[in-house]
Amino acid sequence: MKVLVVGNGGREHAIAKKLLESTRIKQVFCVPGNGGTATTQGCQNLSLNIDDFQGIERFVMVNNIGLVIVGPELPLSLGIADYFQQKRLMIFGPTKAGAQIESSKSWAKELMLQAGIPTPKAAVFTDAEAAKAYVLEQGIPIVIKADGLASGKGVTVATTVKMAHSAINTIFRGEFGTDNIRVVVEEFLTGQEVSILALTDGITVEPLLPAQDHKAIGEGDKGANTGGMGAYAPAPIVTPELMERIQEEILEPTLAALQKRKIDYRGVLYAGLMITPDGEPKVLEFNCRFGDPETQAVLSLLETPLEDLVLACCQQRLGESSIRWKSGASVCVVLASGGYPGSYQKGKVITGIEEAEAQGAEVFHAGTQLKQQQLVSDGGRVLGVTATGETLEQAISKAYAAVDCIQFEGVYCRRDIGRRALGDKN
């Protein structure tokens, strides 16, 4: 079978490489892909835009591609799955209606409240002054969220009233879109965050291994939020008992609430949870897709062929599948361009990837590009160096030994990925 993967991140490179482990997958095409998917054997990039549904469809038809897997949220929120389903083509990812769980925080909040899913208390406003008055009433710290897709930049954890008011002003100035502006003002929670990526065929929902992302740019979770500076799996804070609660109190009721709204959701339901100090799992957000960099860590441990699970979701037979895992742990360390998540330079020559892989790690590309046969940086998050080990400690040592082989001007990474799970304070 031939598969087409939509996206150009580390997540998509990891998906493509995982698919190619199976002898049944003959070729993977990536739209538009990156320097990694360009150089992976069996993989080929297509220079099409991710929102060019017609162009992608034409390629799929002409080349007899059996399955399309969508990485990022944008094409899902624009209705790529609806488009392909109407043409009776196999696509993994929810429809536009289902993608609202990520594309509208107020929609997701309402769904959670109606279904009784544990989530921090919140109020939704269409008016800046009312939102500001609510902030004064509730006090700080408080969390201000733009309603729509904001590439991870729409959330402010405000520690002063001034900060909260300024975040509200920014949203109502139209920074994250000018249509139907809404803001979600949410109770601030403390605790540990975990990412639960679950597969669903619209009937059953099966969690993958729990993972933990490291969103802040700096060690010890200091500094600005990024797309994710590293991840590890499984996250030991999610004990089997806690996973059972997450399944019963969050994943199953969310799927039931989607069904009640007549939404046929087939794809990844990603719950971003806060585990509060008293051990309660609460939903901070849902995403309608695989997480990045969690996917790089989680898929490294997946034993069941990925295409079996994805096809089972598309064909509504996930209930017949079992998900098998390798033993041990996995960690993904992101190498970023100096200056990220602020401004940074591109086009820096990258060396040492072969040496890194000789250490037993796998290097997934994110913001890279092949330019005149040379690999250069092409984004904020450049590479995801991923290693597995019998223990998390072994996986971490292996990953950082590989990290140290890679060079490009200005390269930055956090040195503490995964350490919290070992009991280190950060």
Residue ranges that bind ligand GLY, judged by CB under 6 A:
213, 228, 287, 291-292, 294
Q: Is 275 helix (H, G, I), strand (E, B) or coil?
A: strand
Identify what 357 binds: ligand GLY, ligand AMP, none; CB under 5 to 8 Å per kind. none
- Which residue lies nearer to ligand AMP by CB, 108 or 335? 108
> How many other β-carbons are positioned within 10 Å of the β-carbon of residue 284?
18
Tokens of 385: 């160096």
Residues 119-178 that bind ligand AMP (CB under 6 A): 120, 143, 145, 155, 157
Of residues 12, 73, 147, 186, which one binds ligand AMP by CB under 6 A?
Answer: 186
Q: Which stretch binds ligand AMP (CB under 6 A): 180-188, 199-207, 230-238, 400-408?
A: 180-188
The residues facing 2 across adjacent strands are 27
Strands 27-32 and 2-7: parallel
Identify what 120 binds: ligand AMP, ligand GLY, none; CB under 5 to 8 Å per kind. ligand AMP
| Alpha helix stretches (DSSP H) within 303-413 | 306-314, 353-358, 392-403
Distance, CA of 361 to CA of 394 (rounded, Å):
12
Identify what 189 binds: ligand GLY, ligand AMP, none; CB under 5 to 8 Å per kind. ligand AMP
Distance, CA of 289 to CA of 267 (rounded, Å):
7
Of residues 57, 175, 193, 355, which one binds ligand AMP by CB under 6 A?
Answer: 193
Q: Any residues with CB less than 8 A from the CB of 402 and at least 6 apart, and which?
A: 356, 357, 359, 360, 361, 363, 385, 387
Question: Residue 122: which H helix or E strand, with range?
Answer: strand 122-125
First to last CA, the chain: 45
Identify what 193 binds: ligand GLY, ligand AMP, none; CB under 5 to 8 Å per kind. ligand AMP
Identify what 102 binds: ligand GLY, ligand AMP, none; CB under 5 to 8 Å per kind. none
- Which residue lies nearer to ligand AMP by CB, 159 or 180? 159
Strands 142-146 and 122-125: unpaired
Residues 329-368 that bind ligand AMP (CB under 6 A): none
Identify what 188 binds: ligand GLY, ligand AMP, none; CB under 5 to 8 Å per kind. ligand AMP
> What angle, rounded to 10 degrees, do the helices at 252-260 and 96-103 form?
130
- Which residue lies nearer to ligand AMP by CB, 48 or 189? 189
| By the rule CB under 6 A, 214 interacts with ligand AMP | no
| By the rule CB under 6 A, 402 interacts with ligand AMP | no
Identify what 398 binds: ligand AMP, ligand GLY, none; CB under 5 to 8 Å per kind. none
- HSE toward the beta carbon, residue 403, CA cutoff 13 A: 25
Of residues 14, 91, 183, 189, which one binds ligand AMP by CB under 6 A?
Answer: 189
- The residues of the shown chain that bind ligand AMP, judged by CB under 6 A, are 120, 143, 145, 155, 157, 186-189, 193, 215, 272, 284-285
